[in-house]
Amino acid sequence: MSQPPAPLKLGVNIDHVATLRQARYSPDPTAHNAEPSLLAAAHEAEAAGADSITIHLRLDRRHIQDADVFEMRRGIHTKLNLEMGNSPEILAIALESRPDFVCLVPENRREVTTEGGLDVANADTSLARTVKTLQEAGILVSLFVDPEPRQILASSRIGADMVELHTGAFANAASDGGDEEFRLLTEAARLAHGEGLQVNAGHGINLCNLVKLMRVPHLAELNVGHHLVARGVFVGLSRSIRDFRTLMGSYPLDPA
């Protein structure tokens, strides 16, 4: 008898809480009066139902700072997911701080936010080395990839534990149906699951496109940040997360 699917988990990305802090306190985000507190936001997210806390330590340090990574590692009660580029500098911090998960993402200093998935299929050997190094330190590794078969297969080939499907194209098209983007996500999720990879998803997910997204099979965790923080401006971060969790509770809408 097959086991029922595990409940869909929610990772809450709090980068943009740090963005607000840096807008005023960028010279010294550790000042005693620097606000908002990233740790307080993480605790509020956890109390509202977050299964993990996600932060992205970028090379340009535009929001999350090195000290934040260690504060999150010491202070949160759930799991820590560190997003990072394939950089020796950030890898060293990951190995020292020991997050529960790392999600490797492409990084362009001029981008406003992550613009696409990693090109795992054409990556040099340093990506596979980084994956292995993190895993040898006891850190599970996810690769943020576009929903393309060659990227899924390449992720499996280099030994990743998980993929996070880039849902940005789907999110942008969802108001007009997004049927083709939904098909690509569905096929990618099935392929990744068949390869033994945990299937996560993230980028541009909100309450409006979530219902359709939940028809994608085999999803284990959604990583959501901007929408939750932006809606939190009006209703509070706790309610923003609770409302999202409530809607997620019906997953899977269309079991595969």
- Catalytic residue positions? 56, 83, 203
Dist. CA 249–CA 244, nearest whole Å: 9
Which H or E element spans position 114?
A: none
DSSP 8-state assignment for residue 91: H
Residue 186 CA to residue 111 CA, distance in Å, equals 27
Distance CA 119, CA 177 (A): 27
Question: Is the bond leading into 4 cis (omega within 30 degrees of zero)?
Answer: no
Identify which of 224, 127, 85 has the alpha carbon closest to the alpha carbon of residue 168: 224
Task: Check residue 158 and report its DSSP letter.
Answer: T
∠ at Cα 199 (197, 205), nearest 5°? 160
Does residue 201 contact residue 222 with C-beta atoms inside 8 Å?
A: yes
Q: Is the dihedral of CA 211, 214, 216, 222 positive or negative?
A: positive
Q: Is 211 helix (H, G, I), strand (E, B) or coil?
A: helix
Cα distance between residue 211 and residue 252, in whole Å: 10
